[in-house]
Structure 1
Amino acid sequence: MTTPARPAPPPPPMRKGQVQAFEAISNYTAKRDCELSFEEGDLLFILDQSDPTWWKASLDNKQGYVPSSHVSSENARFAIIDAARRGNLALVEECLNAGVSVNSLDKAGNSALHAASQAGQIHIVTKLLLQPRIQIDLQNKLGDTPLHCASYRGHAEVVQLLLNHGAKFDIVNNDNYTARKLANKPAVISLLEEGTLQGHRKSSGYDDQEYGVADSEDSD
């Protein structure tokens, strides 16, 4: 494979949230201090693609330029989503630290939070929910939110965590199903029905404390 015979361009500014992960398709040995060496199969975080022949990349916490001819534009990896699904916290953190958007979507419109919620990876869900730009109610191409995914799979701990962080329980997917309609485990159903009841109380102008007072007065 031919390496572009030109000097690397001056460093462009890194654009946070627009970083993509690509798998190297061949080895490359850096010829300049501003370049990166890598091996076939390495996961490269591409920070800038403004130059067609030299891309700015990150690998093992180092930044430098790589020849784009050694990185296929057809093998982009949804690394943060794959890692979230598998429960690989180290890779999720590496992606976030490299600048990959926490709300990156795969071809089905799933985010890392969708993937972790569906797989019941509570430690990954916890990590993702700490990110300031997380969109907790993103809907994939089926209209499902992370809460739909966790509810359908019966992951009560994830459902509770999502609800605690303000996930909307009344969103309907493309089949007009809420998360409650998809739930089939008693523990999950109970959590969602409790959330629905609390939402109804607040929408009626009451809070939980007021309801408690009213209940105690009625019982006297």
Structure 2
Amino acid sequence: MATPTPTRVAPPPPPIRKGQVVALEAIRSYKAKQASELSIEEGDLLFILDQSNSDWWKARLDDKEGLVPSRYLSQTSCRVPIIDGARRGNVSLVRECLDAGVSTNALDKSGSSALHAAAQGGHLDCLMLILKSPGVEINLQNKLGDTPLHCAVSKGHDDVVQALLQAGADASIVNSEGRGARDLARRSSVLGLLDEAHLRQLGASERPSSYQHHEYGDNEDSD
């Protein structure tokens, strides 16, 4: 009588560790053989939720989670999909990253976060989504010392500047060149927003007598 071939039993899903998510690309297709596994296609971008088991990693693809063989995935991550999504104004990708547990404070090579990317590109929908995420660092400075507010101000994105200021962005922070938000502003509308925020911080209902209002000409070239 032939000895039955033992079937492989996949290990139970390890616990998800929120905020420790990376994104890897599938280099081979895999068909799930167990209910706890996840079917993937070559080229899929997977959010890796847990790598505590060296052979089977817990991953998320779209709205499904499961175990995938680690050897079927690229071993070099280095992609920060939430930043890519914010830079392109891809709200769906940003939301998917947040739902998967990707940190809003993940950084690219320049030290910039998804909030920097959304502010730079003027993508208000992405920015508002990121601002709602618990723990987001609104005044995070990149390697040049720029905050998301610096990025939005320098590009003249009035609506983004206003959203950041309302969320508590600090306009007094200076970058590595010693330049603050006002120094980077090219538009009178942006300067007006910064002035209004400053007055609100002072608790003033009207400009003090020593306050001098200056008119600034708009420079519509925002690169």
Relative to the length of structure 1, the TM-score reads 0.85
Separation in 2, partners of 1:39, 1:58: 13
Q: Secondary structure at the match of 1:36?
A: coil
1:16 maps to amino acid: K
Match of 2:83 among 75, 81, 84: 81
| Counterpart position of 1:149 | 151
Separation in 2, partners of 1:6, 1:107: 41
Matched, 1:97 2:99: yes
2:172 maps to amino acid: D
Number of aligned residues: 203
| Counterpart position of 1:132 | 134
Matched, 1:39 2:35: no
| Counterpart position of 1:67 | 69
2:90 maps to amino acid: N
Separation in 1, partners of 2:170, 2:96: 29
- State the shift of 1:9 in Å: 2.6
Matched, 1:208 2:210: no
Does the CA-based 8 Å contact 2:13-2:36 persist in structure 1?
Answer: no
Relative to the length of structure 2, the TM-score reads 0.84
Separation in 1, partners of 2:179, 2:96: 35
Separation in 1, partners of 2:67, 2:60: 8
Does the CA-based 8 Å contact 2:22-2:49 persist in structure 1?
Answer: yes
Does the CA-based 8 Å contact 1:23-1:76 persist in structure 2?
Answer: no
| Counterpart position of 2:184 | 182
Deviations 1:11-44 (A, max 9, x none): 2110111111111122111222211111111110
Does the CA-based 8 Å contact 1:47-1:58 persist in structure 2?
Answer: yes
Match of 2:11 among 5, 9, 12: 9
Give unmatched runs, 5+ long, in structure 1: 216-220
| Counterpart position of 2:56 | 54
- State the shift of 1:76 in Å: 3.6
1:162 maps to amino acid: L
Moved more, 71-80 or 153-162: 71-80
